[in-house]
Amino acid sequence: MKSPRPLLLSLFLLVFACGDEDPLRIQLTPEQRDAYHAIALARIDSLRPILDSLCSATFEDRVAIATDSIVQRRLEEEARLRSRIPQISRQ
């Protein structure tokens, strides 16, 4: 059986090498920024049909879950408010 020390040592080095120092800030030139935006736009455009179909496929379920959640919160709020009303005892 291999010793776990090399693995633990490498994990230790990775954790402490990524300390709380400020992240590296890179300033892009306008040309680089335009190139980055063009690449990002092309990739987003290729993903848009997939994301739209996923959204359409799960829309009904997400609306039902959200509606149930809203109704549940309203019922809890109503119960909480009703518990604050003093009970009128009938004689």
pLDDT given at position 68: 95
pLDDT at site 72: 95
Length in residues, the chain: 91
Query: Per residue in 35-90, pLDDT tens?
Result: 999 999 998 888 889 989 999 999 999 999 999 999 999 999 999 998 888 766 54
Instruction: Record the tokens describing residue 74, joined without a space.
Output: 């309203």
CA–CA gap between residue 27 and residue 67 (Å, rounded)? 45
Scanning the chain, the segments in alpha helix (DSSP H) are 5-17, 30-84
Q: Read off the pLDDT band of 24 (50, 70, 90).
A: confident
CA distance 72 to 65: 10
What confidence score (pLDDT) does residue 45 get?
87
Domains in the chain: boundaries: 28-84
Give the global pTM.
0.42
